[in-house]
Amino acid sequence: MDPRFVGHVHALRLGLTDPRFPAAAIPGAATARPEARAAMLAALRQAAAAPRPDTARASQPSGQAAEGAPSGAAATDTHPAPAVSLPDLVAGALDAEGAAPHRPELGTLVATVPGDPQTRNEARQAVAAVDDEDVRLRSAVKARDGFFTTFFISPYSRYIARWCARRGLTPNQVTTASLITALIAAAAAATGTRGGFVAAGVLLILSFVLDCTDGQLARYSLQYSTLGAWLDATFDRAKEYAYYAGLALGAARGGDDVWALALGAMVLQTCRHVVDFSFNEANHDATGNTSPTAALSDRLDSVGWTVWVRRMIVLPIGERWAMIAVLTAVTTPRIVFYALLIGCGFAAAYTTAGRVLRSLTRKARRTDRAAQALADLADSGPLAEGFAAASKGLARRLPSLAPPVIAALGAAAVTLTAWLAPYGSPWTVVAALGYALTSGLAVARPLKGALDWLVPPVFRAAEYGTILILAARADVNGALPAAFGLVAAVAYHHYDTVYRIRGGTGAPPHWLVRAVGGHEGRTLAVALLATLLGAPQFTIALTVLAVAVALVVVAESVRFWVSSGAPAVHDEGEPA
């Protein structure tokens, strides 16, 4: 750091304390984490040996250029050129060596190295004119969020985040508090009383406030971590699905069996998320990625009111939890689940249709990395892999849209057979075997087609739907709660796969996928159990399978994330 530095403390925080980047720099200061220390030392030697002019036009002291702009960008007319500094030369040397440091977008924050008393005085006046604590609070809030979160939660949750930071609380502690609050809400809903339902709604909103606070605390205090991002995302699903279970238990106390609705809501919500994950993984690094549909979407986003409408109709977590909380307090669990199924069903149809249109009108070349991500999300087990290896020649001769069509046909066959055939019919097993065969054919070639991102969500819908239908057809007490537990355990495995890929660590180990059978193996296993066992024994078998899958996937997941050396990640707040 140059001793002549003048600027905001928060500019230094952004430039020197963010753990997500190997190296970072702002005008007058540069830093490197251990993995980039060698590169920085080499750049330091190179910069120290280079001739140094008396002045240089480094970065602007305020309104810094966007991230990635060279440190030699010209200063504005209203701010004289800052003096050259060794940290800026080091950052420039890192740029030249292809190890460009992260340059945070400072916005109105000041960071400069004045070259003379007049410039220093002007820089100090610029520092005094901007309240960096206000900037820090605003930056703690996500730039893009839902209507309910933006206008009903964030205006005060950011101050809760600051209160937590000043008392040394960590984002992970707040995340855990949010989980505990949601579990208490689920327990209150499980009482089945009106007072319990009202308390559950209030506690669910409080849990959501804490859920927003943990991310804002991470951005406010720059406490990012891979483990924290995983806990935040995983606990969101655990909280919501535990609340569904609490509502179902509460309804049962009142004589209303809504377990099928609770399981259907969980299946629909999980499949919605898989659509999001698959589409994003298929396209985020695609080349030639243009689409008239995407251009139309961008034009709509330029009209203020359409932005909020489009964010609300997809029923994001804030709107969804607010709806659940209010309906829990004033209506019945059955109405809550009807509203969830209708709202999430419409949102799923809207987003999926839009993404299909984008994919069909997009001229994109998808990468090998994207194809591997989709293959990992498919969660193919030994049966599908074996069929895939045997049908590679056939798969290469099929048209480009064949993988999602084949996957959908196999999924429709197994779910419709489970629904229409008598409970315990061997035809369900035959359909499950056919599903394993079509699943293998669907992934027999790299998933680079325009609609190949649909393959993983189709697999999720087939597996979860078959479990739901067979448990409902068993028509005995405990079958649907056991199926709820099994789907929850399998969904945890699928979410864990997503977060590993997002964190840049790749999919779970292959032995884990084989150990839990893959999606087609579990579907076949449940079909066999329904055929070979009576309904009461089927319930017991589902419970045992749910416990076994949960123990294996959760143990491996916790082991990985606790010991993971993945780089720190977290959602970004709005630019300062």
Report which DSSP code applies to 65.
P
- Residues with Cβ < 8 Å from 344, sequence gap 6 or more? 265, 268, 269, 272, 315, 320
pLDDT at 48: 79
pLDDT in tens, 241-256: 999 999 999 999 999 9
State the Cα–Cα distance between residues 473 and 461, nearest whole angstrom: 18
State the Cα–Cα distance between residues 71 and 91, nearest whole angstrom: 7
- Residues with Cβ < 8 Å from 232, sequence gap 6 or more? 171, 175, 211, 214, 215, 570
Structure tokens belonging to residue 431? 């359909």
pLDDT in tens, 494-532: 999 998 888 778 889 999 999 999 999 999 999 999 999
pLDDT in tens, 430-469: 999 999 999 999 999 999 999 999 999 999 999 999 999 9
pLDDT in tens, 277-292: 999 999 877 666 566 6
Three-state DSSP at 102 gives strand
Between these two residues, 72 and 109, which has the higher pLDDT value?
A: 109
CA angle 64, 69, 74 (to 5 degrees): 60
- Residues with Cβ < 8 Å from 98, sequence gap 6 or more? none
pLDDT at 77: 42
The amino acid sitting at 336 is V
Q: Which of 379, 405, 531 is nearest to 463 (CA)?
A: 379
Over residues 322-349, the mean pLDDT reads 97
Over residues 7-25, the mean pLDDT reads 94
Over residues 211-218, the mean pLDDT reads 95
DSSP per-residue string spanning 1-36: --TT-EE-HHHHHHHHS-TT-SEEEETTEEEE-GGG
Three-state DSSP at 547 gives helix
Strand ranges (E), 231-330: 287-290
Percent of the chain scoring above 70 in pLDDT: 89
For residue 55, pLDDT beyond 50: no
Over residues 409-423, the mean pLDDT reads 97
The amino acid sitting at 23 is A
Return the minimum-mean-pLDDT range out of 290-294, 407-411, 537-541.
290-294
State the Cα–Cα distance between residues 333 and 255, nearest whole angstrom: 11
For residue 81, pLDDT beyond 90: no
Structure tokens belonging to residue 144? 């893009």
- Residues with Cβ < 8 Å from 205, sequence gap 6 or more? 321, 322, 325
For residue 168, pLDDT beyond 70: yes
- Residues with Cβ < 8 Å from 81, sequence gap 6 or more? 55, 56, 57, 58, 74, 75, 115
pLDDT in tens, 92-117: 888 888 889 999 999 999 999 998 99
pLDDT-based confidence at 574, cuts 50/70/90?
very low
Burial 379-416 (b: 16+ CB within 10 A, else e): bbbebbbebbeebeeebeebeeebbbbbbbebbbbbbe
pLDDT-based confidence at 72, cuts 50/70/90?
very low
pLDDT at 17: 93
Radius of gyration of the chain (CA): 27
- Which single residue is written with the structure tokens 């290469």? 396
pLDDT at 326: 98
State the Cα–Cα distance between residues 135 and 29, nearest whole angstrom: 20
State the Cα–Cα distance between residues 146 and 448, nearest whole angstrom: 32
CA angle 458, 465, 559 (to 5 degrees): 75
pLDDT-based confidence at 329, cuts 50/70/90?
very high
Instruction: Domains for the chain: give ranges and CATH numbers.
Output: 1-48+82-130 (no CATH), 146-256+287-363 (1.20.120.1760), 364-575 (1.20.120)
pLDDT at 66: 35
Q: Which helix (H) or strand (E) is 112 found in, with range?
A: strand 111-112
Q: Which of 560, 508, 488 is nearest to 380 (CA)?
A: 508
Q: Which of 73, 31, 187, 59 is nearest to 123 (CA)?
A: 59
pLDDT at 96: 85
